[in-house]
Amino acid sequence: MLVLGIETSCDDTGVALYDSARGLLAHAVHSQTAMHAEYGGVVPELASRDHVRRLLPLVRDVLARARVPLEALDAVAYTEGPGLAGALLVGASVAESLALGLRIPAIGIHHLEGHLLSPLLSADPPRFPFVALLVSGGHTQLMRVDGVGRYALLGETHDDAAGEAFDKTAQLLELGYPGGPALSALAERGRAGRFHLPRPMIGSGNLDFSFSGLKTAVVTLVRGRDLDEATRADIACAFQEAVVAVLAAKCVAAMEATGLQELVVAGGVGANRQLRAALDAAAARHGFRVRYPALELCTDNGAMIALAGALRLAAAGGGRRGEGSFTVRPRWALDSLAQP
């Protein structure tokens, strides 16, 4: 089954072609980072307009690189939510129009389900059931995954997601946009131990998270302080250490609570090198395996949407044909998804 995947939930335009027999054939992502950097964050209207400009050329490019004609597609999958309403509508309208014209199924995919299943694209994929850490700019959740559409929430953040905390701390350190990657790069040059920041909820006895207090601790730390380059790096190092310590501790607790042997890490923060090193070390100590998607598939991309679409269509024995009517879901809880 050849599935075209389209991702337009926020500020990345992603397109991919996935073959259920041969795997990922081609994918491409256009990032809007440079455009939004001027404003210090994502401007929804500008994001939507850029998706309009970029999406069809990316579809043509991906099909050309895969050497697959448009008429050969068996289905089109797209991000139905959650995300920015205008951005989601761009991808949904293109996907549904293609499906209607080609008389093939169209399927709306939950953005986080795409991230959750993305490690299945690796050469050595995890097997169900497993625990998943979804850690991105807008979400920090631990899920038990028993199959496609079979998700149970184990714990989540009470306030800021880890990625949000990275971005807000980067603003405090005047690192510009996007802040998270800049802070991680700066932290690698920092001196460990100069500053100590709290590890929120690390001993709470449950699998929930909270990062707003950590951000407040950074506010207190930088207030009235001369932020030379070395000090910025040391604060970034302390902040990253605190976040990583909490995420790693909660993952170990989740593995112990479920008794499962595989942990999957997905989402943009999953690309963080210190987090990967900490989780690899924890896995070695506690006897479980940890899996990650390829670095290029940690951020938003069409490949994860195409894969999720193919898995859902296969499990359901097909999907509805493109009908020309559709909706998007800017807010959509992952654990509300039905099995295919």
Are residues 282 and 145 both part of a single domain?
yes
Are residues 48 and 26 both part of a single domain?
yes
The pLDDT of residue 184: 94
Q: Which amino acid is located at 162 in the chain?
A: A
Are residues 138 and 277 both part of a single domain?
yes
Are residues 268 and 302 both part of a single domain?
no
Which one, of 165, 162, 167, 171, lies nearest residue 180 by Cα? 167
Per the structure, the count of domains in the chain is: 2
pLDDT in tens, 106-165: 999 999 999 999 999 998 899 999 999 999 878 899 999 999 999 999 999 999 999 999
pLDDT in tens, 254-290: 999 999 999 999 988 989 999 999 999 999 999 999 9
In a domain, 123, yes or no: no
Distance (Å, whole) CA 172 – CA 78: 36
Are residues 138 and 245 both part of a single domain?
yes
Which one, of 234, 240, 151, 157, lies nearest residue 190 by Cα? 234
Are residues 282 and 266 both part of a single domain?
yes
Are residues 106 and 134 both part of a single domain?
no
Are residues 166 and 271 both part of a single domain?
yes
Segment 195-200 mean pLDDT:
95
Q: Which amino acid is located at 37 in the chain?
A: A
Are residues 139 and 93 both part of a single domain?
no
CATH of the domain at 326: 3.30.420.40
Are residues 167 and 288 both part of a single domain?
yes
Are residues 156 and 242 both part of a single domain?
yes
In a domain, 98, yes or no: yes
Q: Indicate if the pLDDT at residue 337 is higher than 90.
A: no
Domain, as residue range, for 215: 128-292
Q: Indicate if the pLDDT at residue 319 is higher than 90.
A: no
Distance (Å, whole) CA 294 – CA 340: 26
Are residues 203 and 90 both part of a single domain?
no
In a domain, 138, yes or no: yes
